[in-house]
Amino acid sequence: MNSKKLQFKHLVEKVVKRIQGWGNRWFSTGGKEVLIKSVLQAIPSFAMSCFKIPALTCDEIESECASFWWGVGNGKRKMHWRTWNSLCHPKKRGGLGFRKLVEFNRSLLAKQLWRLIQHPDSLVCRILKGRYFRYGSVLEAGLGRNPSYMWEHCCGAETSYPVG
């Protein structure tokens, strides 16, 4: 297991712990939907707004959400009538509107990039500009020498955003 995956293992553990805390209670499908959207998928939101979470970690969280949704009884998996990806479509397109966490993570990071572009005089932008893109824009910034963990795994050259 690589170190980046280890850094975010606690997010998966929090989701699992929350599901275990709910125990074997019988929730309606509407109740499960609300719990997944408002609790389980909200757990990694803050970390996702700051860091690019590994896709494997997002997949593990989605897997735990899917297991909770479909239910597991006596150690046996129940019938999955639709794929998780189809449940992630908007309700207008026949899904339930669950988030695809990799895409949600990307959108939250793009929102941070937008804030840097719109508020170039903010403290965080001035600090990052002095360190990583002193003579250009944030869109042209590279990793630089000895980047911070946040810059390397969020805003640096590793993450490419479509421009235009």
Kindly state the tokens that stand for 27.
């929730």
- 67 membership: H or E segment, kind and range: helix 55-70
Residue 11: its pLDDT value, please? 94
134 and 54 in a common domain: no
Complete DSSP assignment for 97-160: ----HHHHHHHHHHHHHHHHHH-TTSHHHHHHHHHH-TTS-GGG----SS--HHIIIIISTTS-
Range of the domain at 76: 3-99
128 and 92 in a common domain: no
Q: How many CA atoms lie within 13 A of 126 on its CB side?
A: 3
Q: What is the pLDDT along the chain (164 residues), one digit of tens a residue?
A: 567 778 899 999 999 999 988 876 788 889 999 999 999 999 999 999 888 899 999 999 999 999 888 886 556 666 677 888 888 899 999 889 899 999 999 999 889 888 888 988 999 888 888 878 878 777 777 777 777 766 776 654 444 444 43
95 and 123 in a common domain: no
87 and 16 in a common domain: yes
133 and 65 in a common domain: no
Residue 164: its pLDDT value, please? 38
Residue 107 lies in a domain: no
35 and 81 in a common domain: yes
90 and 55 in a common domain: yes
142 and 61 in a common domain: no
Number of domains in the chain: 2
Residue 153: its pLDDT value, please? 63
72 and 16 in a common domain: yes
128 and 73 in a common domain: no
The answer to whether the beta carbons of residues 33 and 96 sit under 8 Å apart is yes
Residue 143 to residues 36, 66, 105, 124, 138: CA-CA distances in angstroms?
36, 36, 20, 17, 11
Residue 158: its pLDDT value, please? 45
pTM value is 0.78
132 and 86 in a common domain: no
CA distance 88 to 61: 14
CA distance 82 to 98: 13
82: which residues sit within 8 A by CB, 6+ positions away?
A: none
Residue 74: its pLDDT value, please? 57
Residue 110 lies in a domain: no
Residue 142: its pLDDT value, please? 75
